Amino acid sequence: SQELEQSPQSLIVQEGKNLTINCTSSKTLYGLYWYKQKYGEGLIFLMMLQKGGEEKSHEKITAKLDEKKQQSSLHITASQPSHAGIYLCGAPLPGYGGSQGNLIFGKGTKLSVKP
């Protein structure tokens, strides 16, 4: 089973619209990292969350970790074509080398923004 489930798998939005991407774990998350990837390129670090209820923002992107620390959401306000790409969540999980800093990644959410 997939340890980190991302939804939706893909998303097409009109420029200017808001959107939310979710990352869910069946286990407690001790840290959650959000990355963005353009096709054929490396991952760019966006934000890191550690505490239940924590929320961080950077420009028009806000990420939250719920109180139970099992789900994180990434919200983009007033989307722009520059937001297009693949968004991935990653987390250190027990049994997967999490105590050594290794990350398990979700399969990603592909975002397209129509001008």
**Where do contacts with other proteins occur on this chain (CB under 8 A)?**
30-31, 33, 35, 40-45, 48, 50, 88, 90, 92, 96-103, 105-108
Kindly state the smallest distance separating residue 19's Cβ from other proteins, in Å.
Answer: 20
Kindly state the smallest distance separating residue 37's Cβ from other proteins, in Å.
Answer: 8
Cβ proximity to other proteins, 1 vs 100, nearer residue: 100
Q: What are phi and psi of 44, to 5 degrees?
A: -105, 125
Cβ proximity to other proteins, 60 vs 105, nearer residue: 105
Cβ proximity to other proteins, 19 vs 48, nearer residue: 48
Of 29, 64, 28, 30, nearest in space to 46 by CA: 64
Strands 32-37 and 10-14: unpaired
Kindly state the smallest distance separating residue 89's Cβ from other proteins, in Å.
Answer: 10
Kindly state the smallest distance separating residue 106's Cβ from other proteins, in Å.
Answer: 6
Cβ proximity to other proteins, 75 vs 110, nearer residue: 110
Q: Whole-angstrom Cα distance, residue 14 to residue 55? A: 25
Residue 98 is classified by DSSP as G
Burial class (CB in 10 A: 0-12, 13-18, 19+), 44: exposed
